[in-house]
Structure 1
């Protein structure tokens, strides 16, 4: 990755592309290192790409593949459905915050 040899206008354009890509990654709630995004941006720029839409696609293509791979891994590790045991009747008295007074406890 070379960062020198670009004009200031090109670097400003790269900055806008990177900010737009970061906003889209944040909107997807994906976790993608910025250093990787910058590397992909300059990799495409080193090959001569200057179209902002294509540069953004190059940056996001890796993010999309990582997020889809992560979602596939999450689905593979998905837990089985929770089964609810049938309700058992208990002989224990029900506890409450305000217990009822017994008739034998009341003073007359």
Structure 2
């Protein structure tokens, strides 16, 4: 399920200090982008941040929740997105710190894929 309008508006406002924040529906969820890089996903108004080897330790608190996943051919595929703890929505500074760490992971993923710049057709 995609992000509600009010949750999407909240995220755009809270994450604005990072850069140009946009949200786009995809795969039945909502992708959260900053300057064209996907740092998070939303499903049922739950925010999941991108995780990689370099920010995994900083997101240890998120290990209390299952990662974002989907089923394919009878197997569960875990995505590299971990759920943000609800307490972050009451602490804008911590929310931004987690978002910065997720954006760092998004930049590393983009660099590995040879894509570092925003394409003109992207949100």
> Taking structure 2 as the reference length, what is the TM-score of the superposition?
0.32
Q: Which has the larger radius of gyration?
A: 1
Task: Report the structure, 1 or 2, having the larger helix content.
Answer: 1
Task: Report the structure, 1 or 2, having the larger strand content.
Answer: 2
